[in-house]
Homo-oligomer: A and B are copies of this chain.
C-alpha cells in the first residue's frame, strides 16, 4: 500500500530529524567543558532506541498547528534525554546488562558513573526543557515526579500476588503513559494551540502510552528473543504485569496455586508452564483486547484535531504500536 509506505517514510523522516539533533547536541557538548560527562553519556544516547517520545512531540506540535519545528526541537530532545536518564538509573537497580543493544553504563563504568551519567542526562533534559514557558516546565516536572512515584509503586508490588489492575494502571500511568501524555500536551502548548487541542493531545498520549506499555509487557512474555529484546525480564524481577494479574484473577484452585508457584519460583525451564497457564486463562487475548481499546480511544480523540498529515501519522503510530516486535 502506497499510503502505508508513505507514512513509514514520513515517520522515518521525523526519526532522522531527532537522531541528527541528538548527534549535534552530543558534538556540541563533547567540544565544551561538559566533555567528561558527555563522553560517559554519549553511547547510550546515540545507541538508538525507538525515539517514540521525541517523534510524538514533533508530530503533536505539527498536528496542533505548529509550523517551525525548530521551536519544539529542544522539547523533543528533552523528552528523549529524560527518558534515557531513567533507563540508565533503572538499569542499575534492575542489574540489567544491556540496553539498546550495548552494555549498560553501570556495567562498563561502575555504579558511581552509572548514577552520575544518569544525573547528567537528567540535567541535559531539564536544561533543554527549562527553556519553555513555566506552565510547560511545571507539566514536565510533574510527569517526571510521577515517574518516580510509579517506580516506587512498582517496587511495593514486586511479587505481590494481590496486585490489582488499578495498581497496575497507577504504575504504568506514572512510569510510561504520563510522560507520553505530557510530551504530547506540552508540544501542543508550545505550538500555541487552544485547550481543546492540548487536552486531546494529552489524552492521545495517555492512551498510546498505555497501549505501548501493555505491548511491552506482552512482548516480555511472548517476544522473540532473536529480535533483540530479552524475554522474561519482568517475570524474573517479580514485576506484576497485567497478563499475570489477570491470570491470577481468572484461575482457581490447583491451577492458581501452580501459577503462583511459577511466578514466585520462576526459572527459564518453566516458560512453557507459565505461557500455557496464561493461555488457559485467556490473559493474552484479554490484554490484546485492552491494547486495541487504548489504541481505538487514542485514534478517536484525534477527531478533535484538524485534518493534517501529522494527525494521520499520529493515527498510524497508534496503529503500529499494536504490532511492534521489539
A48 CB–B CB distance under 8 Å: no
Q: Beta-carbon contacts of A139-167 to B below 8 Å, as 1s and 0s? A: 01110111011011101000000000000
Q: What band does the interface of chain A fall in when counting residues whose beta carbon is under 8 Å from B?
A: 35 or more
Which residues on the B side are within 8 Å of A127 (C-beta)? 137-138, 140-142, 144-145
A17 CB–B CB distance under 8 Å: no
A53 CB–B CB distance under 8 Å: no
Which residues on the B side are within 8 Å of A131 (C-beta)? 134, 137-138
CB atoms of A145 and B130 under 8 A apart: no
CA separation between A40 and B155, bound complex, in Å? 13
Q: Beta-carbon contacts of A228-271 to B below 8 Å, as 1s and 0s? A: 00000000000000000000000000000000000000000000
CA separation between A124 and B142, bound complex, in Å? 9
CB-CB nearest in chain B for A37: B148
Q: Beyond A129-B130, A130-B141, is A123–B149 a contact (Cβ under 8 Å)? A: no
CB atoms of B116 and A145 under 8 A apart: no
Which residues on the B side are within 8 Å of A152 (C-beta)? 36-37, 40, 113, 116
A92 CB–B CB distance under 8 Å: yes
Q: Beta-carbon contacts of A35-71 to B below 8 Å, as 1s and 0s? A: 1110010000000000000000000000000000000
CB atoms of B89 and A115 under 8 A apart: yes
CB-CB nearest in chain B for A143: B123
Which residues of A line the B interface, CB within 8 A?
33-37, 40, 85-86, 89, 92-93, 111-113, 115-120, 122-124, 126-127, 129-131, 134, 137-138, 140-142, 144-146, 148-149, 151-153, 155
Q: A113-B155, A124-B141, A131-B137 are in contact. List 14 more A-B contacts (CB 8 A).
A: A34-B146, A89-B115, A93-B111, A93-B115, A112-B151, A116-B151, A117-B148, A119-B122, A126-B141, A127-B138, A127-B141, A130-B134, A130-B137, A131-B134
